[in-house]
Amino acid sequence: MKPLEGILVLEFAQFMAGPTAGLKLADLGARVIKIERPDKGEAGRQIAIKNLFIDGDSLVFHTINRNKESYAADLKKTEDLQKVKQLIAKADVMTHNFRPGVMEKIGLTYEDVCKINPRIVYGLVTGYGNKGPWAHKPGQDLLIQAISGLSWLSGTKNDGPVPFGLAVADMACGAHLTQGILAALLKRNKTGKSVLVEVSLLESILDLQFELLTTFLNDGKQLPKRSTVRGSGHAYLSAPYGIYQTSDGYLTLAMGDLMKIGKSIGCDLTLYQDKATWFEKRDEIIKKLGAYFLQNSTAYWCVRLEKEGIWCSSVLNYRQALDHEAFRVLKMTQAVTLSNGRQLITTRSPIEINKQKLYATKAAPKVGEDTHRIEYEFNITR
C-alpha cells in the first residue's frame, strides 16, 4: 500500500500550483478527483508548452494531472452544486486556487465546507494572499518572479532582470501545499477537526529565497551583486562558483579551495590567498580561470580536478543527461496510457517508500470521464 491510500481528495484547482499538489498526493496513493466544468474542463487543459497537445489536451495538462479522475459539474447550477456537496461530505481533502471572492459567491468557503464536513482538510492557493493591494492581481508565475526579486539573481550584472526558465513559483507553491496538507491530515487525525491550509505563490517564492533574503536583511540591505562575467553562478557566492567554457563544451565548479584548484590545473592564483578576495575579486578570478579552461576539453579538466577531490562536473543538455547511465539507473521515467491507447512518457514521483519507487500508469482523465461511475459509487443523488 502507498502511504495515502484511502485518502479522498477533491481538486477544484486549475493551471499548475494546485494541481501539482494533487499530483504529489496521488503519487503517494491518494485518490484525487478533479471537479471540472463540463465540456471544456479546467483552463489548464488549454495552456500549452510549444503548442503541444495530446488527445485534445495540452501536454502540460497531461504531465500535471496523471493518475487523477474527473468529475464534471457546473458549480453555478444548484443541482450540480448539491451533488458536489455530497462528495465534499465524504472527502478528506479539498483544494482550490480561485481568486479571493469566487468561493464566497459559490458558497464553498472554508466556513461553508466545514458545515458540510467538519473533518475536512481545506487547501487554498492564492497568488498574493487574501489581503493587501495585490490580493486580486493575477497569480501567474512570471509575474511572481518579477515582483519577488528572483529575476535579479540569474545572469550577469549587465543583463537586467532574467526570468527563471521554469514555472518555479508554481512548483514551489505546489510542494508547500502538499506539505501543509500532509501536516493537516496528521492534525485532523489527532483532533478530529477540520484544518485550513493556506499558501500563496508569492510567499512560496520568497521562501525559496530564504538564504538570500536573510543575507539581505542582515547585511545592511545591500542589493545582490551579480558578476559582470557570464557564467558566474550565484550573486552572493565567491569564485570559483560558476560555469566555464572549455575547448569542447562547458565545465561547472562548485565551492572549492582556489589554491588547490589553481595547483591542480597549473594556474597561478597566489594573488588570492586571502579568502576575502575570492568574493571581492570574483570577476577577475573567474576570467583568469576561464582563460585556462578554454585550453582543453571538459573531460580533461574533470579528470584532473576530480583526482584532487574538487567538486566539478560537465554541463549536460537534456539529451546528454537522459542518455547517461547515472540517469538510467534511477528509472525516473514511466509510461502512462491515454484514452486512445497511445502511451505517453513522463517522469515518476521522486520519492521512494520502503525501497519502492512510486509508479502510476493512469493518464490524465478526459473531462468528466468518471462522473457517472463516481455518482454511482458514492450514491450521489439529485
Q: Quick check: is 234 catalytic?
A: yes
Residue 271 lies in a domain: no
Q: Can you list the positions of beta strands (E) in the chain?
A: 8-11, 31-36, 53-54, 57-58, 69-72, 93-96, 121-126, 195-200, 242-245, 250-253, 312-314, 333-337, 343-347, 352-353, 356-357
Strands 8-11 and 57-58: what pairing? unpaired
Contact 223, 281 (CB under 8 A): no
Residue 239 lies in a domain: no
The boundaries of the domain holding residue 69 are 8-207+353-377
Residue 363 lies in a domain: yes
Residue 136: helix, strand or coil by DSSP? coil
What cell was used for 289? 580561470
Query: If the chain, 382 residues long, is cut into consecutive pieces of 10 residues, what is the mean pLDDT of each piece?
Result: 96 96 98 96 90 91 96 96 98 95 95 98 96 91 96 91 93 98 98 98 97 94 90 87 96 92 93 94 94 96 95 96 95 92 93 94 95 96 78
pLDDT of residue 236: 87
pLDDT of residue 341: 86
Residue 303 lies in a domain: no
Strands 31-36 and 69-72: what pairing? parallel
The values of phi and psi at residue 11, to 5°, are -105, 110
pLDDT of residue 204: 98
Residue 228 lies in a domain: no
Residue 99 lies in a domain: yes
Number of domains in the chain: 1
pLDDT of residue 234: 86
pLDDT of residue 267: 93
pTM above 0.75, yes or no: yes
Nearest to 228, CA basis, from 267, 284, 279: 284
Nearest to 206, CA basis, from 146, 134, 149: 149
Q: Which of 62, 96, 136, 234 is catalytic?
A: 234
**CA separation, residue 141 to residues 16, 57, 165, 194 (Å):** 9, 21, 11, 30
Edge to edge, the sheet with strand 242-245 lists 242-245, 250-253, 312-314
* Helices 168-191/141-148 angle, 10° precision: 100
Residue 185 lies in a domain: yes
CA atoms of 43 and 48, how far apart (whole Å):
11
Which CATH number does the domain housing residue 147 bear?
Answer: 3.40.50.10540
Which sign does the torsion angle of CA 138, 139, 143, 144 carry? positive
Residue 331 lies in a domain: no
Contact 129, 204 (CB under 8 A): no
List 353's β-bridge partners, or say none.
Answer: 356
CA atoms of 78 and 106, how far apart (whole Å):
10
